[in-house]
Amino acid sequence: MSEVPCCHCGELFPSSPRHKNQRFCGKPECQRARKAAWQRHKIQTDPDYRFNQKLSQKQWAKTILATGRNTAKDILTKQKETVSFKPSVTAGPGHSHLMKR
């Protein structure tokens, strides 16, 4: 059995003869990285998967908002650009009269 370096943490781990393409060790963080890499690959090669990801993006944005991450701002700005016909949730009462007219 040979040892190969993990693609994520760089540590050597014994590669299983059954999974010759295994490039990530068994650590939880490295398994997450493996999944993310697989997802990226899938998005690039599978249009159906990409479409499904788009559908779940709203739910994802909600989750990010709930956790209060900075990235939520980026998502909202992006959504405002693409879905401009929808009234913004962030508009306060001071701006509502502008939007109705």
Residues lying near Zn ion in the complex (CB under 5 A): 6, 8-9, 25, 27, 30
Minimum distance from residue 3 beta carbon to Zn ion (Å): 12
Cβ distance to Zn ion smaller for residue 19 or 86: 19
Helix 57-67 with 47-55: angle, nearest 10 deg: 50
Find the DSSP H helices in the chain: 28-45, 47-55, 57-67, 71-82, 93-100
For the bound state, the minimum distance from the C-beta of residue 12 to Zn ion, rounded and expressed in Å, comes to: 10
Rounded to a whole number of angstroms, the minimum distance from the CB of residue 28 to Zn ion is 10
